[in-house]
Amino acid sequence: MLFTQTEKYLNTIQSVNMKSYTLFSLLLTFVFFASCSSLRSLDELSESAESAYKAGNQEEAFEAYNRLISAHRNHGREPDGQVYQRAGLLAFELNETAKAIEYLELARHSQAVDDKTYLTLAKAYREIDNLSREITMLEQYVGGYPHGPDFQDMQRRYFQTLVESLNYQQAYALWPQLSAEAGSDEALLTAYLQTLQALGHERQATLKAEEILSLNRNNIKALDWLAKRHFRQADELYRREMQAYEQNRTHRQYAQLLEALEVINTDLRIALDYFKRLYAQDPRSEYARYLANIYERFQDDENARYYRRRAP
C-alpha cells in the first residue's frame, strides 16, 4: 500500500517535471526564433540603409539609419560607429543639425571617426553659434589631420575663432603656421591686426594695417587704427614741442618747433584722409569730433563747424 502511494507520487512529480521541461523548451524555442527574427530585422534595416546610402538617396538612407539606430536601442545595444557616422553626415546634409551633432558626437568616440567627423561637427556648431564647441572640433581636426583635404580652411577658421574668443596669444602663435595665401586674405589679415592691437604690438599693427589698405583702401579696422595713430602722433609731438618752447623761448627752440610743425601737419593730413574715409562709411560722432578737431587746427572754420554740428 505504501509502495503504491510512493509510486503514484513519483509518477506525479515526473509528470510535472515533464510538463515544466516541455514549457521551458517551448520558451527557449520562442526566444530563439524571436532572437533570430530580431537579428534578421536588424540585418534588413542595415542592408536597406546601406543600399540607399550607396545609391545617393539621402533622405531614404537617413530615415533607414534612424530606424536602425532606434531598433538597436530598443534591444538595449548601440549600433556600430559607422552607423552613427553615416547618419550624422546625412543629417547635416539634410539640415538636421541637432541630429547631426547627436550622432557625430557618438561617432567621434568610435573607431569610425575621421576628418569628416570633425569637419562636419565644426560646421554644425558654427550653425548653432556654439563657439567653444566649434573651437574644440577645429582644434581636433587641425591637430589630428594635418594632411586632410580641408586642413587649410579648418586651420584658418581655427585662427579666426581664436580671435573671436579673445585667445590672442594662441592666435598670435598660430599665425606663422598659416599658409602663404593667408597674407592676401583681407579677413584673416584684419583678424591678425586685431590680435596685434590687443597684445600691444603697435609697430607690427601699423605695418599690418598699411598692408590691409593696399588690398582694400576702405577697410574700417585698418583705417581706424591708422587714423587714430597718426592723430595721436601729431598731438603728442605738438604738445611736447610747445612745452619745450614755452620753457625755452630761444631762436633755436623756435626753429625746432617749426620743423616739428611740418611733421605734425603731415600726420594730421594723413589722419584727415583716413577719418574722411571712415566717416563716409560710418558717420559716427566719434569720427566727426576728430574731423572737427583737425579742421580747427588747419583753421578751416567752415568744415570745423560742419563736423562739430555732427559731433554732439
The predicted structure's pLDDT at residue 249: 87
- Mean pLDDT, to the nearest integer, of 179-188? 92
The yes-or-no verdict on residue 302 having pLDDT over 60 is: yes
Q: What are phi and psi of 259, to 5 degrees?
A: -65, -40
pLDDT band at 147 (very low <50, low <70, confident <90, very high): very high
pLDDT at residue number 14 = 56
Residue 8 pLDDT more than 80?
Answer: no
- Report in angstroms the alpha-carbon separations of 160 from 165, 170, 191, 214, 254: 9, 11, 7, 21, 50
Lowest-pLDDT choice from 16-30, 243-257, 295-309: 16-30
pLDDT-derived band at 253, boundaries 50, 70, 90: confident
Is there a contact between 267 and 238 (Cβ–Cβ < 8 Å)? no
The CATH class of the 217-312 domain is mainly alpha
What distances in angstroms separate CA 59 from CA 63, 73, 159, 198, one per listed residue? 6, 21, 35, 47
pLDDT digits (tens, 9 = 90+) for 191-222: 999 999 999 999 999 999 999 999 999 999 99
Predicted local distance difference test score (pLDDT) of residue 274: 98
Domain boundaries, the chain: 217-312
Q: How confident is the model at residue 16 (pLDDT cuts 50, 70, 90)?
A: very low
pLDDT tens per residue across span 101-120 = 999 999 999 999 999 999 99
% pLDDT > 70, the chain: 87
Query: What does the pLDDT average to over 144-148?
Result: 97
What confidence score (pLDDT) does residue 64 get?
Answer: 93
What's CA 53's distance to the chain center, in Å?
Answer: 29
Q: Choose the weakest-confidence range: 68-72, 160-164, 225-229.
A: 68-72
Closest CA relative to residue 50, chosen from 70, 75, 68: 68
| pLDDT for position 23 | 47
Q: For position 32, what pLDDT does the model report?
A: 38
Q: Could you tell me if 142 and 157 are in contact, meaning their C-beta atoms sit under 8 angstroms apart?
A: no
